[in-house]
């Protein structure tokens, strides 16, 4: 079993420690409330932290009002606390404040469980201060400690998925991998693509930051990553239809499997070259690349032309593969244009 301590884990621990130090220096009781708030408030990016703080202000304001009214009208019986929590959650969800529900519940329970002390200005202020210290500590640690290199993290995810898919596209046509291992690789690739899409949303949020080094390069990379993920999705679809149909295609035709295997091999090389070009590891000659793409188009057209007038059975098996290859080819062409444009702009700069 792997045991990895990542930056976010370290930052969460540091935020909790900072919170306990600050509350100890001020002399606040129930410092554990502030520590829990710090843990809940830790976010994967600076912009997400800022957005979280904005949402905290609104949602905790609602929670505070409900906690005060609930205590005054219903008292601090456990059933009263539960009723106020349920009502507050419902309102927060209705308003779209879903990210801070846990922190709102913490605020309500901290306010309502006042015991014999009762609600007064000092008590309310101290409880709000505990939550604020936790949230602010999380934000400070997130900004100051191990600021994440989102572009590097995302591209590593994309590159990992690309390598795995390219490998499958090499072995599936030759049926060189067992079905259980193939299914295992499929599941792993789908997980990585999903993580890449989720992480893209994080890096996309960073566009609104005021201070970004090489902002135009950053924005160009965001566009490229978006299209890289689209390419991964199209490749994964191609993997699926090949797994499903390649054996049947070989049964109904002798020439089609050769054309498909040739196309898959060529488009695989094309994909690898585009990614290597983005990494500045190779320089693709535009004219040679045009010739290679023209040759692929000829093969695609031949595959489609051969389907004209063919039996319905051939269409069922061959068309999904041909369609997936065409869609992938189209996405790769777009990605290549963006990568070349990025290279030209950076060379000028």
pLDDT at 1: 44
Rounded to 10 deg, the angle between the 215-252 and 150-171 helix axes is 10
Rounded to an integer, what distance in angstroms lies between the CA atom of residue 275 and that of residue 272?
5
What confidence tens digit (pLDDT) does each residue in 4-36 have? 677 778 888 888 899 999 998 888 888 888 898
- For the chain, domain boundaries: 7-144, 150-348
Question: pTM of the predicted model, to two decimals?
Answer: 0.75
Residue 216 has pLDDT above 90, yes or no: no
The listed range with the strongest mean pLDDT (108-122, 123-137, 283-297) is 123-137
29 contacts: CB under 8 Å, gap ≥ 6: 126
What confidence tens digit (pLDDT) does each residue in 47-62 have? 788 888 888 888 888 8
Hey, is 291 helix, strand or coil? helix
What confidence tens digit (pLDDT) does each residue in 85-95 have? 999 889 988 88
Give the Å distances, CA to CA, from 187 to 151, 158, 161, 193: 24, 15, 11, 10
CATH code: domain 150-348 is: 1.20.58.220
Q: How far is CA 306 from the centre of its chain?
A: 41
Rounded to an integer, what distance in angstroms lies between the CA atom of residue 132 and that of residue 284?
54
290 contacts: CB under 8 Å, gap ≥ 6: none
pLDDT at 163: 93
Question: Are 106 and 40 in contact, with CB atoms under 8 Å apart?
Answer: yes
Six-digit token pair at 115?
Answer: 């015991």
Q: Determine which helix (DSSP H) or strand (DSSP E) holds 316, and give its type and residue range.
A: helix 312-348
φ and ψ of 35, to 5 deg: -65, -40
In the chain, the percentage of residues whose pLDDT exceeds 90 is 15
Burial 34-50 (b: 16+ CB within 10 A, else e): bbbbbebbbbbbbbbbb
């Amino acid at each position: 079993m792997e045991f990895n301590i990542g930056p976010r884990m370290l930052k969460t621990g540091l935020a909790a420690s900072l919170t306990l130090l600050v509350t100890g220096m001020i002399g606040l009781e129930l410092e554990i409330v502030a520590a829990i708030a710090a843990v809940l408030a830790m976010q994967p990016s600076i912009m997400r932290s800022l957005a979280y703080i904005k949402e905290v202000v609104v949602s905790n304001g609602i929670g505070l009002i409900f906690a005060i009214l609930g205590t005054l009208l219903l008292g601090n019986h456990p059933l009263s606390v539960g009723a106020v929590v349920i009502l507050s959650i419902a309102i927060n969800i209705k308003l779209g404040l879903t990210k801070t529900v846990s922190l709102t519940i913490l605020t309500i329970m901290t306010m309502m469980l006042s015991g014999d002390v009762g609600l007064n200005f000092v008590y309310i202020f101290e409880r709000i201060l505990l939550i604020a210290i936790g949230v602010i500590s999380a934000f400070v640690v997130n900004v100051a400690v191990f600021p994440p290199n989102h572009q590097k993290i995302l591209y590593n995810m994309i590159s990992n998925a690309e390598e795995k898919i390219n490998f499958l596209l090499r072995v599936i046509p030759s049926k060189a991998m067992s079905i259980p291992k193939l299914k295992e690789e499929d599941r792993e690739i789908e997980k990585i693509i999903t993580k890449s899409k989720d992480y893209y949303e994080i890096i996309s949020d960073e566009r609104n930051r005021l201070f970004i080094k090489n902002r135009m390069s950053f924005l160009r990379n965001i566009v490229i990553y978006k299209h890289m993920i689209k390419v991964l999705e199209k490749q994964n679809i191609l993997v699926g239809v090949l797994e499903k149909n390649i054996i049947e295609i070989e049964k109904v035709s002798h020439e089609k499997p050769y054309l498909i295997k040739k196309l898959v091999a060529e488009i695989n090389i094309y994909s690898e070259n585009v990614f290597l070009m983005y990494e500045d590891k190779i320089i693709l000659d535009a004219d040679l690349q045009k010739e290679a793409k023209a040759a692929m188009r000829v093969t695609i057209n031949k595959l489609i032309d051969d389907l004209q007038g063919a039996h319905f059975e051939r269409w069922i098996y061959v068309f999904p593969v041909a369609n997936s290859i065409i869609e992938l080819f189209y996405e790769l062409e777009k990605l290549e244009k963006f990568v070349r444009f990025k290279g030209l702009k950076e060379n000028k700069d």
